Structure 1
Amino acid sequence: MRVVHSVLAGLLFALAAAAGIANAQPVQQDMTETEVAFDSHGVTLRGTVFTPASPGRHPAVVLIHGSGPGPRAEYLPEAQAFARAGVTTLVFDKRTIGYSTTHRDFSLLADDALAGVALLRTRTDVDPAAVGLWGFSEGGWVAPLAAARSPEVAFVVTIGGSGRTPLRTQTWSLRNRLAHQGITGSLPAAVAGPGAQFINGTGLFPEANFDPAPVLAQIHAPVLALWGEHDVKVPAAESAEIFQSELARAGNHSVTTCFVPGAGHNGHRTTDGFDSIGGAVFDGKPLGELGPGYADVITDWIHAVADGRPPASSAVPAPPETSLSRAPDGRPAYEYAALAFLLIGFAAYPLSAAARMLLRRSDTRRPSSVRWAARSVSALGLATVLGGVACVEWVLVTGAQRAPAVVLLGQPLQWLIVHILAATVLLAVAALALTWWRNRNRIDAISRAQLAILLLTGCVFVPWALHWQLLR
């Protein structure tokens, strides 16, 4: 079945390519490289312009990075392939000032891209009316934003661009990666739901709620949106539908969406979206060779647009997706309020007991069985809440790049331990309630208040644990 899908995808990709390239351009054998520098918002950005060897003015494109540091070396295969096919290409090092893991500004990145467009438009070997943008992954949010701001952007090409918000896209991607690691239990649901809302509230997931739909609805330049057949990082089928509908809303009549056969998120060769086949090595890892026909479809489409023949809108059916993305459940305010209540409630008993000891107040009217039951609920509750949140947020922070050492019953060992602790908390709460009832005549008023708070916290723990998938 996988082979059949790959063959069909190849045929569909060929049909999509043919629809946009009535006259394919000859491949250039040589090219020249020029080091350049340009300024944007007080930062000097440095890059390389790859120019076709053929004389005359050429269409041109600025490459916009995916997430991460973004040195130009990562995008040399695309830059060189485009230049050899007659498209002048600027690839530059992404800014490091104003961009980090916990802080990024798509608006700022869009201005950087537009500064690159302005640079290319001044070159004598570039057709100033045919300068566009190519955006990969994160660049699939940035390129449309830049195009919506400036009429000087003649076209937009995206590869692996998402039509969903960054946070929703990331949780969909993490569900795929966890499934690839053999994790099929409740952890993916916890990551995509309360875990995502929790990290959203910290502000440590930048541009989490950036919605690309309103931006797409403002673009009138021709758009070519591509996704790899095996893209596991963005929901390609959903994104293609959003691109088509929102760009049509803008009255855009040249929108082509199609899928690169045998390619992953970056349009490079893969078998399943998680590995890379051949290609250049970057940061110690192979990038994978460019997907078959990928560069040709892009450059031929660009030439068609530059020649005043933008292809009419067309959409190739998307390969089947394993699951749909979903918006994270709950709200950050609820997640933090519930967490604070549980931590304070479970910690109140030992803290108040310590205060009584410091004040040298006797608790002889509190039977030892009650003390042990209360201490058990407090310790187990704190360990479960902190452990559960830590497991989920660790996946979100690290991107699940490394598979857990031990997976049992579809669960990482750490997550399975937290599940056991959560069930034990319920037993401990029941035991505390029973012990208190049996010794109710031997407990003073202060101790009754302490135990009431602890039992109330235990009751609140139940819906919270269900929400965080700890009792499922």
Structure 2
Amino acid sequence: MALAVTALAPPASAADGEVTFTNGGVTLHGTVVAPPGGTKLPGLVMVHGSGAHSREDYRDQAEAFARQGIATLIYDKRTEGYSQFERSYSTLADDALAAVAALRKRPEVDPARVGVWGLSEGGWVAPLAASRSADVAFVVTLGANGVEPSRQQAWAVENQLRRLGMDGSLVRMATSTMLRQLAAGGVFPEAHYDPVPVLKSLRQPVLGLWGAKDVLTPPGEAVEIFRSSLARYTLRVFPDAQHQLRRTSDGFDKLPGYAPGYLELVGTWVHDLPATSTADAPPPQDRPSAAVTPLRWYEPVWLQLAALVFLLAAFAWYPLFRRGPAARSARWLATTGLVTVLGFLAVDVVLQVTMGKALGPVVAGRPLPWLALQLLSLGTVAATIGTAVAWWRHRTPRLGVLLAGGVVFVPWAVYWGLLGV
């Protein structure tokens, strides 16, 4: 029977205890949710998914676990040292271990039976914490990944774009070139964290849970990797569940309540850790994830920024400096080149902020702004050829700078998919 969020008992059904603990000079605040009057209870520390989270984001599940006789610690995620540009799984793992130490000191808790629970990003962090301390008795993960964060993100982004009807060069750019540049530029910290060595080092029992309709984590690959890496495991797949094990129709929406049996399974498993390993069959995926490789020597971030600045300067040069002979092709090159580069920057920002949702209607697998940019790119190439002819005739610096911009534009546009199919 599914336990819907709206059906959960109010906080009065569990005894709450405020706790604080410190790691790396940062004091974190949490709440222990436990059944009133309990003794020698197993304990569970809930480790957050990515982004900003408070303890209240997990209270409903903590209360469900408390009703099953588990003392659960939920805490406010650190903000110091955690952002889009800065994060450390090592630090987050030490936060979790500090929480484990605080929970083990509680009088109602059996210190030998305290484990960690991790959702999504927490599926990287919780095993890492367990690998560092024998004080962690077990691990529970939801929507955990067996692949690197960059690879998972590329798979998730492609799912979203394909859901919107997109295909072709924009999808390839967004899931490869853009992610690789962001990671190299420091906008995607921990992009290449490899979870497999940590999984192979674990000796604690692990309960791994996935939704078969997960569109953020490649669940089939995760089940396979966990099964081949862990020493002791229970791996379960819920058929009509999404990333957070909420009920769903397609993986993208959230229906009321959790997947039937999820909350009860955690309670039963924690109270009676299995001695043998079992695993459900990996759920099918529409396509496998693909590795997002680090930048090669010839495509560093500084070179991309330099090319961008040069293109803007070269295309703006021609209309700003009006001395010398004019050519229709040169005017076209200055206009189409400048509009294309600025337009690409705008589309790139919108793509990152809205995951493609604000790019408008899609025609032949391309949102209209991207289709327009591709047509402008073709026009820019044609105008570059015409400008080369004009420069050959007149040999002026004004035309030379503009032509240089057109020449640089071609490989730049190919690299970013503007001249791709």
What TM-score results when the alignment is normalised by the length of structure 1? 0.80
Q: Shift of residue 329 of structure 1?
A: 5.7
1:74 counterpart SS class = helix
Q: Count matched residues.
A: 409
> Does 2:375 correspond to 1:420?
yes
Question: Where in structure 2 are the equivalents of 1:319-398 lying within 5 Å?
Answer: 319-328=283-292, 331=295, 334=299, 336=301, 337-338=303-304, 340-341=306-307, 343-345=309-311, 347-348=313-314, 350-351=316-317, 354=320, 363=324, 366=325, 368-369=326-327, 372-398=328-354
Question: Whole-Å Cα distance in 2 between the matches of residues 300 and 46 of structure 1?
Answer: 28
2:201 counterpart SS class = coil
State the partner residue of 2:8.
none
Question: Whole-Å Cα distance in 1 between the matches of residues 365 and 406 of structure 2?
Answer: 32
State the partner residue of 1:57.
40
CA RMSD of aligned residues (A): 2.6
What do the CA deviations read for 1:139-195 (whole angstroms, capped 9, x no partner)? 011101111111111111100111122222112111111222232343221101111
Moved more, 59-68 or 235-244: 235-244
State the partner residue of 1:83.
66
Question: Where in structure 2 are the equivalents of 1:115-194 lying within 5 Å?
Answer: 115-194=98-177
State the partner residue of 2:277.
313
Q: Shift of residue 63 of structure 1?
A: 0.2
State the partner residue of 2:52.
69
> Does 2:253 correspond to 1:258?
no
Question: Whole-Å Cα distance in 2 between the matches of residues 69 and 206 of structure 1?
Answer: 15
Distance 1:404 1:461, change over 3 A: closer
State the partner residue of 1:471.
420
Question: Whole-Å Cα distance in 1 between the matches of residues 52 and 315 of structure 2?
Answer: 47
Structure 1 gap ranges (5+): 1-9, 11-28, 279-288
> Does 2:211 correspond to 1:228?
yes
CA contact (8 A) 1:257 1:314 kept: yes
Q: Shift of residue 459 of structure 1?
A: 4.4
What do the CA deviations read for 1:380-413 (whole angstroms, capped 9, x no partner)? 223323433542353234444x454433333222
CA contact (8 A) 2:14 2:66 kept: yes
Question: Whole-Å Cα distance in 2 between the matches of residues 330 and 132 of structure 1?
Answer: 35
Q: Shift of residue 350 of structure 1?
A: 4.5
State the partner residue of 1:282.
none
CA contact (8 A) 2:16 2:34 kept: yes
Q: Shift of residue 349 of structure 1?
A: 6.0
Question: Whole-Å Cα distance in 2 between the matches of residues 42 and 63 of structure 1?
Answer: 21
Question: Whole-Å Cα distance in 1 between the matches of residues 400 and 379 of structure 2?
Answer: 23
Letter in 1 for 2:313: A
1:430 to 377, 385, 395: 385
Q: Shift of residue 343 of structure 1?
A: 4.4
Question: Whole-Å Cα distance in 2 between the matches of residues 469 and 460 of structure 1?
Answer: 10
Q: If you compute each CA radius of gyration, which structure gives the higher value, 1 or 2? A: 1
Letter in 2 for 1:411: R
Question: Whole-Å Cα distance in 1 between the matches of residues 368 and 395 of structure 2?
Answer: 42
2:31 counterpart SS class = strand
1:323 counterpart SS class = coil
Distance 1:454 1:53, change over 3 A: closer
CA contact (8 A) 2:233 2:277 kept: yes
Q: Shift of residue 62 of structure 1?
A: 0.1
Letter in 1 for 2:258: L
What TM-score results when the alignment is normalised by the length of structure 2? 0.89
Q: Shift of residue 126 of structure 1?
A: 1.0
Moved more, 132-141 or 215-224: 215-224
State the partner residue of 1:36.
19
Question: Whole-Å Cα distance in 1 between the matches of residues 227 and 119 of structure 2?
Answer: 18
Letter in 2 for 1:276: K
What do the CA deviations read for 1:48-84 (whole angstroms, capped 9, x no partner)? 1111246431111100011121111111121011111
Letter in 1 for 2:265: V
CA contact (8 A) 1:346 1:457 kept: no
Q: Shift of residue 453 of structure 1?
A: 2.4
CA contact (8 A) 1:165 1:210 kept: yes
Letter in 2 for 1:178: L
Q: Shift of residue 455 of structure 1?
A: 5.0
Q: Shift of residue 352 of structure 1?
A: 7.3
1:419 counterpart SS class = helix
Q: Shift of residue 96 of structure 1?
A: 1.8
CA contact (8 A) 1:346 1:377 kept: no
Letter in 2 for 1:266: Q
State the partner residue of 1:26.
none
CA contact (8 A) 2:184 2:294 kept: no
State the partner residue of 2:404.
453
State the partner residue of 2:7.
none
CA contact (8 A) 1:136 1:266 kept: yes
Question: Whole-Å Cα distance in 2 between the matches of residues 104 and 263 of structure 1?
Answer: 29
Moved more, 134-143 or 391-400: 391-400
1:135 counterpart SS class = strand
